[in-house]
């Protein structure tokens, strides 16, 4: 069974979604990412995927205060990515209770950081984010073309002890056009790594198709826009229930 990770992308203190990760395409879904975390928890999410978009674009974490409040507000594991470039930043995140850290750009620029973090914190706690456009890895907020094939990077990370990647097809992200099933299956088969798929999920049928890739190591999926746009039938009932609730609470299940 696929694990569903609702995505919370933070930019300028707000919860937003971008189209293919491009600046200027922001759509604001909430002025308070912490409340959004509480809402997803109230709808029985088992874990959350949080991205510091400001950090990704600027090369350093920018929303640590928001993340700290989020950690106190919900009682489920949170994984965080975006702008994480140093060992000290990784340690700081674990110190405040983050469950798992996603390293993206630094997997290219500083592979020794990945190796050290895996050694010190364990492979279950460190994930490498591989964001690809036409099979080629993009970094620095998806602005820089590295010329490195996604599979090659994944295999290199595996040699450093990494056991899981988050694979995002940039051309599908925020498009509601369906995941790139072929690319997801390819990287899972070629590397033998556990894969969290990201980008393009539009509805329940996409989840069924992704679940067929579970035999290859695809065991989880990050969903953003489809959830925010209420593309799943069960959400209609949730939205009605939430209208009469004063408190979604960190442990409430609707």
| Element (DSSP H or E) covering residue 79 | strand 78-81
pLDDT of residue 79: 97
The rounded distance, in Å, linking the Cα atoms of 116 and 125 is: 12
125-175 pLDDT tens trace: 999 999 999 999 998 878 899 999 999 999 999 999 999 999 999 998 877
Q: Is the pLDDT of residue 250 over 80?
A: no
| Element (DSSP H or E) covering residue 199 | none
The rounded distance, in Å, linking the Cα atoms of 13 and 65 is: 10
Q: Which residues are catalytic?
A: 9, 131
The rounded distance, in Å, linking the Cα atoms of 187 and 151 is: 6
The angle formed by the CA atoms of residues 202, 66 and 40, to the nearest 5 degrees, is 35
Query: Residue 253's pLDDT band (boundaries 50, 70, 90)?
Result: very low
Q: Is the pLDDT of residue 235 over 80?
A: no
Query: Residue 246's pLDDT band (boundaries 50, 70, 90)?
Result: low
Q: Is the pLDDT of residue 237 over 60?
A: no
82-95 pLDDT tens trace: 999 999 999 999 99
38-73 pLDDT tens trace: 989 988 899 999 999 998 888 888 899 999 999 999
pLDDT of residue 251: 46
Q: pTM of the prediction?
A: 0.90
Q: Is the pLDDT of residue 254 over 60?
A: no
Mean local confidence (pLDDT), 228-234? 83
124-138 pLDDT tens trace: 999 999 999 999 999
Nearest to 115 by CA among 161, 164, 165, 150: 161
pLDDT of residue 169: 93
Domain range 3-242, CATH class: alpha beta
Contact at 8 Å (CB) between 56 and 67?
no
Q: Is the pLDDT of residue 213 over 60?
A: yes
Who's near 236: CB < 8 A, 6+ residues apart? 230
The rounded distance, in Å, linking the Cα atoms of 52 and 82 is: 5
Percent of the chain with pLDDT over 90: 72
Who's near 189: CB < 8 A, 6+ residues apart? 216
């Amino acid at each position: 069974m696929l694990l569903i990770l609702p995505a919370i992308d933070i930019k300028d203190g707000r919860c937003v979604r971008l189209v293919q990760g491009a600046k200027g395409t922001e759509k604001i879904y909430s002025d308070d990412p912490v409340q959004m975390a509480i809402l997803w928890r109230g709808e029985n999410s088992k874990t959350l995927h949080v991205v510091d978009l400001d950090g990704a674009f600027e090369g350093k974490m920018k929303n640590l205060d928001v993340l700290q409040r989020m950690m106190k507000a919900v009682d489920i594991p949170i994984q965080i990515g975006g702008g994480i470039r140093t060992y000290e930043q990784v340690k700081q995140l674990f110190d405040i209770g983050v469950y798992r850290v996603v390293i993206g750009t630094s997997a290219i620029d500083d592979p020794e950081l990945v190796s050290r973090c895996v050694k010190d914190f364990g492979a279950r706690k460190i994930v490498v984010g591989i964001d690809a456009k036409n099979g080629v890895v993009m970094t620095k907020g998806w602005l820089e073309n590295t010329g490195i094939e996604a599979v090659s990077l994944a295999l290199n990370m595996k040699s450093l002890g990494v056991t899981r990647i988050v694979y995002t097809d940039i051309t599908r992200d925020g498009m509601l056009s369906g995941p790139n099933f072929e690319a997801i299956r390819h990287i899972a088969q070629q590397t033998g790594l556990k894969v969290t798929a990201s980008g393009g999920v539009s509805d329940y049928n996409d989840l069924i198709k992704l679940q067929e890739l579970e035999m290859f190591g695809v065991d989880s999926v990050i969903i953003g826009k489809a959830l925010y746009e209420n593309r799943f039938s069960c959400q209609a009932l949730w939205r009605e229930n939430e209208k009469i609730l004063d408190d979604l609470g960190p442990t409430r299940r609707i």
